[in-house]
């Protein structure tokens, strides 16, 4: 599968059955890549990386100043992501891991995700909370893309009510791009929330 980035770069990805969006780059991921903020130097992670279009593109855009992580529960997705990172020349900057391989003290500067909404609200909230708590204060951010009809607006309300300042960056073709900031009180608590 080919992905043509807004900056004109062409990337080829191998996909397979049993991995999210095998026949095309998901429209939500395309929106995140086209309308998301610039990649900042530091540690970033793609939560639910699939075969890697987001993690690999971010590593390419961020260059050597970015240390990337790609996390997925699906073993086949991780294998494809690692192979695609090798093909695209960023295997040294995209570490592909299972969730249980994440160091407990890892802090990140940016989270990017087309999160697995269909796992259910409780599981989704637990997943997002566990990652948002890893944002490095005071400037850590998360960029999430969610379909409107799959609960993007209720997710935005939940994030704000849970203490994660969140705004809608853009909306297009039935998708919402949500930007989450580190809460002001996280600076004093080093990102650890109750």
Domain assignment present for residue 182? The answer is yes
Residue 188 in this model has a pLDDT that exceeds 50:
no
Weakest mean pLDDT among 5-14, 133-142, 175-184: 5-14
pLDDT in tens, 27-84: 888 899 999 999 999 999 999 999 999 999 999 999 999 999 999 999 999 999 999 9
Give the chain's domain count: 1
Q: What is the band of 193 on the pLDDT scale with cuts at 50, 70, 90?
A: very low
Which residues 6+ apart lie within 8 Å of 127 measured at CB? 47, 115, 116, 119
Residue 180: CB atoms within 10 A of its CB come to 22
Residue 190 in this model has a pLDDT that exceeds 60:
no
Domain assignment present for residue 194? The answer is no
**Which structural domain, as residue segments, surrounds residue 176?**
2-189
Tell me the CATH number at 59. 3.40.50.150
């Amino acid at each position: 599968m080919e992905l043509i980035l807004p900056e004109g770069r062409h990337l080829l990805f191998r996909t397979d059955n049993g991995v999210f969006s095998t026949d095309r780059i998901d429209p939500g991921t395309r929106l995140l890549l086209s309308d998301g903020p610039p990649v900042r130097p530091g540690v970033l992670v793609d939560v639910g990386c699939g075969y890697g279009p987001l993690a690999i593109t971010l590593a390419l855009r961020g260059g050597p100043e970015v240390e990337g992580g790609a996390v997925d529960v699906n073993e086949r997705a991780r294998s494809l992501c690692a192979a695609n990172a090798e093909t695209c020349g960023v295997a040294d900057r995209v570490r592909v891991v299972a969730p249980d391989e994440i160091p407990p003290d890892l802090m990140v500067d940016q989270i990017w995700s087309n999160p697995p909404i269909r796992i259910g609200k409780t599981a989704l909230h637990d997943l997002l909370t566990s990652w948002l708590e890893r944002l490095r204060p005071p400037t850590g951010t998360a960029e999430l893309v969610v379909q409107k009809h799959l609960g993007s607006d209720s997710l935005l309300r939940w994030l704000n009510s849970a203490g994660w300042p969140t705004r809608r960056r853009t909306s297009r073709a039935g998708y919402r791009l949500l930007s989450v900031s580190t809460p002001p009180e996280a600076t004093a608590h080093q990102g650890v929330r109750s």
